[in-house]
Chains A and B, each alone.
Chain A
Amino acid sequence: MSDPHPDNPSSRRITRRALLVDALAATGIGVAGALAVDRFRHRRRRAAVFIGKAPSYSMDLASIIEAGLGQLGIGSGEVRGKRILLKPNFVETVRGALHICTQPEVVFAAVEAFRKLGAAEVLIGEGSGHCPDAMRIIDEVRLAESLVEQKLRFVDLNNDDLIVRPNAGGRTSLRALALPATVDQVDWIVSMPKMKTHHWVGATLSMKNLFGMMPGIVYGWPKNVLHWAGIEGCVLDINQTVQPHLAIIDGIVGMEGDGPIMGTPKPTGVIVMGTNLPAVDATAARIMGIDPTKVAYLRNAHGRLGTIALDEIVQRGETIASVQTDYQLVDFIPAHRGLRPARGSRAIPAPGLSS
């Protein structure tokens, strides 16, 4: 994800048709935005986040995810009959590497857990940010054969039919967002990222992972339209428009250093889960030794899409302190500078974020 100038607003040719579309979209934004904020408002206070210890991919990960769902109050009553899209991160593959992509063991563990709770259908979908060939990706992340064995459908979100929704976030110049039609065909979207540092935004977790929902046929490879519109604003816009229901972060082996592609493996041994994505990402950031209030898109998500304030997050499972391990940050990467919590203030909410 490395366009040299991610923050410039995209240019638009102004035509009569564009003006009409914009006017209609603006109306839509007003209504959709209000609904979205309303929906998120009740999710802000006292968000539960589950941390499960998982030292290796060979463990019974389904049991950990089932336990996590239980701790989050998600049982068969919530899942039965639902169609669930699992959205892992397969941005780019290196055969045998554990630290770039969400590992299939975690994805299939989630499949097993949701099936056990009575999901009507579980799908796996990804729109790789760097690689147009989805079949090669699922071969190289060792997903292909298991999809057949487990009778699972994979959706190439880069190449799905398209739907268009008004941009409910309104943080960027994008008036509407083109999305894969599968978004309209499922009840739940579960963001399943890898726990990684990121050289443009500091950390990439469940909210940033939704860049992979955006179809490459409309946004390009890399998703350059989003870079020009502003990565951080787009993270908020996409999350507010798509409204994912749950996050399950693969932090068993994460990536530190020059993430999200060229960093090094960081065994962390955790799975982090929750329905309030800013809270989940803030918890993961704290585990990584990153102050979430210093990650711009997390700071801006606070109060709008959820909470990142420690005193508003109810920690389930393990404590942050018991699994915390500093991810290496790189001095020459501007987005990494100043991300560490102030000395002595680790795990303490920043002023203004503890309402």
Chain B
Amino acid sequence: MLLDPNDKWHLRALEERYVEGVGVVNRPGGSFRPDAACWAILALRAAGGDARVVENARRLLADTQTQDGRVPVSAEQPDAYWPTALAVLAWHGAPQYQESQARALQFLLECAEVKTPDPSEALPGHDVTIKGWAWIAGTHPWVEPTAYVILALRACGRMTHWRAQGGVHLLLDRQLPSGGWNYGNTFTFGTESRPTAETTGIGLQALAGLTPKDSVKNSIAYMQSEVALLHAPISLAWAILALHAWQETVDRPQERILQALARQKKFGPHNTVSLSLLTLAWHCRTGLVDFFERADWQGEK
């Protein structure tokens, strides 16, 4: 059981989510999940985990990439391409996967099948003409998948691309006036929607350093008000990463992370995404972008 992200022995619990011949699973006994693989790779990189596990996980991830560059949730669900941006991050800094990473990036930049309804028919709330990224091909763009792509483009130095600018524009457009983000609807029938912690954390993390702090001040305030109330690993980890990315303080973040990990004693093993995000929140004390840009990623062998 991973209870201490600093302890190499404990890290084995995360490494053991890699199953030979299967890849990284999201829960013990489960099937391969590319998103879990990506987060586990990043967490093990951040924590100095077993390099062989990282390499094997990256290789099996590459095996799931389709001809057009996408990394779908499963071979049977090619439209569910949202893990592609995470794969870009997971392959980052690994020269042997540069070609896989480049194809994934190309897919994301050319991905033009996002549905944008006729603006004249749309409900007021958000600008439906802004191009971002969807969870699933052929649907509308939403906050979380767009934020993942922005993180991937930032890591690869592609923020000058017009699609990257569109993604930032979309995230700002979908920000709730009172602060925070939900999945991506600001108003429905004139009523402002509510934010959710995990999506706000992801949105803030993606925008950190790209936009003036004043433009997200209400979201930072919301995140600050929520963080003390969060115990669930994914939401807590994103809240800590996001606030740190904006140089905001969090009260006893490491103690909070240990408490979230300790919940496994009561509730059973956390899923791989949870373990990975908590590990990243522990090790990446200025947020994820600095981690992606850290010098030791370059030329990783």
- Chain A positions within 8 Å of B, measured between CB atoms, are 2-5, 8, 10-13, 92, 94-95, 130-133, 135-136, 139, 144, 147-148, 156, 159, 161-162, 164, 178, 199, 216-222, 224-225, 227-228, 258, 261-262, 330, 332-333
Given A94-B194, A136-B196, A159-B26, 6 additional A-B pairs, CB 8 A:
A4-B140, A8-B117, A136-B232, A164-B76, A224-B135, A225-B136
Which residues of chain A have C-beta atoms less than 8 A from B77's C-beta?
162, 178, 217-218
Contact B197 A133 (CB under 8 A): yes
Contact present for A10 and B138 (CB under 8 Å): yes
CA distance in complex: A147, B183 (Å): 27
Q: Which of B126-184 contact A (CB under 8 A)?
A: 128, 134-140, 142, 144, 182-183
Q: Which residues of B contact A219 (CB under 8 A)?
A: 135-136
Q: Interface majority SS on B: helix, strand, loop or mixed? A: loop
Whether the Cβ atoms of A135 and B144 lie closer than 8 Å is no
Task: Write the chain A residue with the least CB distance to B196.
Answer: A131
Q: Does B15 sit within 8 A of A, measured CB to CB? A: no
Does B110 lie at the interface of the complex (its beta carbon under 8 Å from any beta carbon of A)?
Answer: no
Q: Smallest CB–CB gap between A256 and chain B, Å?
A: 14
B interface with A by C-beta (< 8 Å) = 26, 30-31, 33, 35, 73-74, 76-77, 79-80, 82, 113, 115, 117-118, 121-123, 125, 128, 134-140, 142, 144, 182-183, 185, 188-191, 193-194, 196-199, 229-235, 266-267, 270-271, 274
**Complex contact A220–B128 (CB within 8 A):** no
Q: Which residues of A contact B118 (CB under 8 A)?
A: 5
A47 to B80, CA, bound (A): 39
Q: Which one of B113, B137, B142 contacts A221 once the chains associate, using CB atoms below 8 Å?
A: B142
| CB atoms of A218 and B73 under 8 A apart | yes
Contacts of B142 in A (CB 8 A): 220-222, 224
Q: Which of A3, A156, A261 contacts B140 (CB 8 A)?
A: A3
A136 contacts B185, C-beta separation under 8 Å = no
A residues near B274, Cβ cutoff 8 Å? 135
With a CB–CB cut-off of 8 A, which chain A residues contact B125?
4
A110 to chain B, nearest CB (A): 21
B233 close to A162 (CB less than 8 A):
no
Q: Is the interface of A mostly helix, strand, loop or mixed?
A: loop
The answer for the CA separation of A262 and B35 in the assembled complex, in Å, is 32
- Min Cβ gap B90→A in Å is 17
A133-B235, A135-B234 given as contacts; is B139 within 8 A of A148 (CB)? no
* CB neighbours of A156 from chain B (8 A): 271
Alpha-carbon distance A131/B180, docked complex (angstroms): 14
Contact B189 A131 (CB under 8 A): no
**A291 nearest CB across to chain B (Å):** 22
For this complex, 23 residue pairs linking A to B, each with C-beta atoms less than 8 Å apart, are A5-B122, A92-B182, A130-B196, A133-B234, A135-B267, A136-B230, A136-B232, A147-B267, A159-B26, A159-B271, A161-B31, A217-B77, A218-B77, A220-B135, A221-B144, A224-B134, A224-B139, A258-B188, A261-B194, A262-B188, A262-B193, A332-B190, A333-B189
Complex Cα–Cα for A222 and B196 (A): 13
Contacts of A222 in B (CB 8 A): 142, 183, 185
Set of chain B residues within 8 Å of A178, measured between Cβ atoms: 76-77
